[in-house]
């Protein structure tokens, strides 16, 4: 029987090295005990924020010092917790770090309300009198922009203290799905028992044996059916929290509130959903090609992940993936390429799945740490692309951290998802241009099409679903598991019109953690659209365009997202990048259809 290994069975070279953050848990404890009392130092400035320029600068520098220390404490605990969500020691450390961060946020919650008593002229005068405040100009502008939606210092303090409670639905969902829930065992075509996990489910759905795929799909969603009331309640409460928080801050909707933070107009969201919705015929074409490739009368839900080639494709071991990803980013410049290679060879990455490990993949770190990457690598082409994706995030963090001060280094997700998909796109071009193995080339092309499908179309479908379920709560309508099933099935049916919805696919919403992230997913779709345009520019203009792109990465959060992306020569306020991305997708469909003689 194939089972997920315990962490102790994974070679150290394929695990991340967190000793650069803290040597061990005792060092973490000492750091926690050292920074915890410093929270009181933040409280000492309440009522004095606008006293004079010198006092304001002192507070901003103190805030940076305290939150940088807390950030290191928090990231170490969170990464340790992600290694094995069953480990109660690390769960407790993560909870303590989260509490400390909430306490610090509450302690300084007076800062922005007090700053918002100033006019733009007042702020200009403070900056003029204290040169050290000049580097905070974007931060100060952002604070004043939020003034109409900021409550009194007392209310802000209460809201900050409640953050641990309001995040409970997401945390409960994470523990349920990563630590407690199992996803069933199926027998593969060779008679071997396979344990289904969140990490291997998608790969199992690419098995050439259609009956096996059906069993995996039905078994997996039967397990989700057993917790549908718990998951449905968690999602309903998460959505309700988003809606109530938006009302407390005087926004017209939860979506407006979520997009106001990064200063992305709601129209950008609407343009994405509308533009993709108007071009579903291209997605339907992909589904029809898949039906022909599989030689079936009707495409069903367990067929949607299948390769157009009809098989899973060659294995790509991790070390080979590392080599190809490093070579693929050569167009971004030697310094970028060398820094990425250095990170990969100094254990940024926690590579393989182990029992209890958090599902999925992410890049995480702080201003003062390496940008670590968690993977659940499956020795396939998809995992190689995921590695490239997460390395885009990590290199973004590296370049922004090297260039910007702490308060401007953090970038918005809207920009982050461009950095990740630029790397994916470059990897595709590199492999298609350099691989001699026609079978592997065909699978790479198919993988990129799948990522386009799942990123541009699927994430936009998620965005439409997210908008709908929030609107139901805003309109005081019920949001029960039955309603969630119905709304999700309607969207899934429209997007994948040539396919028959089978095997419990209407419950797919249960397995999507991003629905707890408050209008997060649309940025994957805008990201891949911008990435396609950026890579096209780099191919046409070479180093000039690559330099513009690196400048975008280095900008971090020193400007608003649409302004940052404009540095790479892309206007995301228009539908043009989305339409252009769909054209790229359609062009690749032409190529693969010709290669496989499907049209």
Which residues lie below 8 Å from residue 290, measured CB to CB, with a gap of 6+? 299, 303, 304, 306, 308
Whether the pLDDT of residue 179 is over 70: the answer is: yes
- d(CA 67, CA 172) in angstroms, rounded, equals 26
Cβ atoms < 10 Å from Cβ of 165: 10
46 within domain boundaries: yes
Cite the active site residues: 390
178 within domain boundaries: no
Per-residue confidence band for 1, with pLDDT thresholds at 50, 70 and 90: low
Give the range with max mean pLDDT: 117-126, 164-173, 302-311.
117-126
Q: Describe the chain by its helix, strand, coil percentages, rounded to 5.
A: 70, 5, 25
pLDDT at 155: 84
Per-residue confidence band for 326, with pLDDT thresholds at 50, 70 and 90: very high
DSSP state, residue 368: T
pLDDT at 439: 86
> Do residues 290 and 496 make contact, with C-beta atoms less than 8 angstroms apart?
no
pTM of the model: 0.84
- 472: helix, strand or coil: helix
Q: Region 244-273: what's the mean pLDDT?
A: 95
Strands (E), 347-464: 349-352, 362-364, 372-377
- 444: helix, strand or coil: helix
342 within domain boundaries: no
Percentage of residues of the chain with pLDDT beyond 90: 90
Helix (H) / strand (E) element for 283: namely helix 280-294
Q: What angle do CA 119, 160, 152 make, to 5 degrees?
A: 35
123 Rama sector, left if φ>0, alpha if ψ -120 to 50, beta otherwise: alpha
Give the model confidence (pLDDT) of 452-511 as tens digits.
999 999 999 999 999 999 999 999 999 999 999 999 999 999 999 999 999 999 999 999
40 within domain boundaries: yes
> Do residues 186 and 92 make contact, with C-beta atoms less than 8 angstroms apart?
no
Domain that holds residue 141: 7-166
Half-sphere exposure of 287 (CA within 13 A, CB side): 26
Q: Specify the number of domains making up the chain.
A: 1
Handedness of CA 129, 131, 133, 138 (dihedral sign): positive
Map 38-69 to HEC letters.
HHHHHHCCCCCCCCCHHHHHHHHHHHHHHHHH
pLDDT at 479: 97
- d(CA 85, CA 199) in angstroms, rounded, equals 14
118 within domain boundaries: yes
> Do residues 35 and 100 make contact, with C-beta atoms less than 8 angstroms apart?
yes
Give the model confidence (pLDDT) of 426-468 as tens digits.
999 999 999 988 888 889 999 899 989 999 999 999 999 999 9
The closest alpha carbon to 200, from 319, 86, 360, 316, belongs to 360
- d(CA 124, CA 158) in angstroms, rounded, equals 31
Residue with tokens 């795929």: 213
pLDDT at 474: 98
Structure tokens that stand for 441 in this block:
């080339």
228 within domain boundaries: no
In DSSP terms, 372 is beta-bridged to 364
Q: For the domain that residue 159 is a member of, what is the CATH number?
A: 1.20.140.70
Cβ atoms < 10 Å from Cβ of 88: 10
52 within domain boundaries: yes
Give the model confidence (pLDDT) of 352-409 as tens digits.
999 999 988 999 999 999 999 999 999 999 899 999 999 999 999 999 999 999 999 9
Give the model confidence (pLDDT) of 135-169 as tens digits.
999 999 999 999 999 888 788 788 888 887 888 99
- d(CA 23, CA 239) in angstroms, rounded, equals 40
Give the model confidence (pLDDT) of 32-88 as tens digits.
999 999 999 999 999 999 999 999 999 999 999 999 999 999 999 999 999 999 999
251 within domain boundaries: no
pLDDT at 199: 82
Q: What is the mean pLDDT of the chain?
A: 95
Structure tokens that stand for 165 in this block:
């409670």
């Amino acid at each position: 029987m194939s089972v997920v290994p315990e962490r102790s069975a994974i070679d150290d070279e394929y695990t991340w090295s967190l000793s650069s953050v803290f040597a061990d848990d005792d060092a973490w404890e000492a750091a926690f005990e050292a920074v915890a009392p410093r929270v009181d130092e933040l409280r000492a400035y309440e009522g004095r924020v606008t006293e004079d320029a010198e006092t304001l600068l002192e507070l901003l520098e103190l805030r940076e010092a305290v939150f940088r220390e807390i950030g290191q404490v928090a990231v170490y605990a969170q990464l340790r917790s992600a290694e094995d969500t069953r480990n109660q020691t690390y769960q407790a450390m993560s909870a303590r770090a989260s509490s400390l961060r909430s306490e610090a946020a509450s302690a300084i919650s007076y800062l922005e309300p007090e700053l918002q008593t100033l006019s733009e002229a007042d702020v200009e005068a403070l900056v003029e009198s204290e040169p050290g405040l000049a580097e905070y100009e974007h931060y100060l502008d952002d604070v004043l922009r939020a003034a109409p939606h900021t409550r009194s210092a007392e209310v802000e303090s209460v809201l900050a203290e409640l953050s641990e409670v309001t995040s409970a639905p997401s945390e409960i969902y994470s523990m349920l799905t990563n630590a407690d829930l199992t996803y069933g065992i199926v027998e593969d075509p060779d008679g071997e028992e396979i344990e289904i996990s969140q990490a291997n489910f998608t790969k199992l759905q690419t098995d050439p044996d259609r009956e096996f795929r059906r069993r995996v799909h039905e078994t997996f969603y039967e397990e989700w059916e057993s917790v549908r009331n718990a998951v449905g309640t968690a999602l309903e409460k998460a959505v309700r929290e988003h809606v109530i928080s938006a009302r407390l801050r005087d926004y017209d909707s939860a979506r407006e509130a979520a997009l106001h933070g990064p200063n992305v107009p709601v129209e950008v969201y609407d343009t994405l959903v509308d533009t993709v919705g108007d071009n579903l015929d291209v997605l339907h074409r992909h589904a029809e090609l898949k039906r022909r490739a599989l030689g079936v009368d009707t495409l069903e839900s367990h067929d949607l992940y299948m390769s157009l080639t009809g098989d899973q494709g060659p294995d790509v071991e991790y070390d080979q993936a590392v080599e190809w990803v490093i070579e693929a980013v050569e167009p971004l410049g030697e310094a970028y390429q060398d820094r990425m290679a250095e990170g990969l060879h100094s254990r940024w990455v926690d590579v393989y799945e182990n029992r209890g490990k958090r599902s999925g993949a992410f890049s995480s770190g702080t201003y003062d740490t390496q940008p670590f990457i968690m993977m659940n690598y499956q020795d396939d082409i998809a995992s190689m692309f995921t590695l490239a994706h997460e390395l885009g995030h990590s290199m973004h963090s590296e370049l922004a951290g090297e260039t910007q001060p702490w308060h401007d280094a953090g970038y918005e997700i809207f920009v982050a998802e461009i950095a990740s998909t630029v790397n994916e796109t470059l990897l595709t071009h590199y492999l298609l241009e350099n691989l001699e193995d026609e079978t592997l080339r065909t699978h790479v092309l198919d993988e990129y099409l799948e990522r386009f499908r799942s990123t541009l179309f699927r994430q936009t479908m998620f965005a439409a679903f997210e908008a709908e379920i929030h609107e139901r709560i805003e309109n005081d309508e019920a949001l029960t598991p039955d309603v969630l099933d119905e709304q999700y099935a309607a969207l899934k049916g429209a997007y994948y019109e040539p396919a028959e919805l089978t095997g419990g696919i209407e419950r797919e919403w249960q397995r999507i953690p991003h629905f707890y992230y408050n209008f997060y997913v649309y940025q994957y779709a805008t990201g891949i659209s911008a990435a396609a345009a950026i890579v096209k520019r780099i191919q046409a203009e070479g180093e000039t365009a690559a330099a513009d792109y690196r400048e975008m990465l280095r900008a971090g959060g020193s400007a608003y997202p649409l302004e940052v992306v404009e540095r790479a020569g892309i206007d995301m306020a228009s539908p043009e990048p989305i339409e252009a991305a769909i054209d790229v997708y359609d062009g690749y469909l032409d190529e693969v259809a010709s290669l496989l003689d499907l049209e």
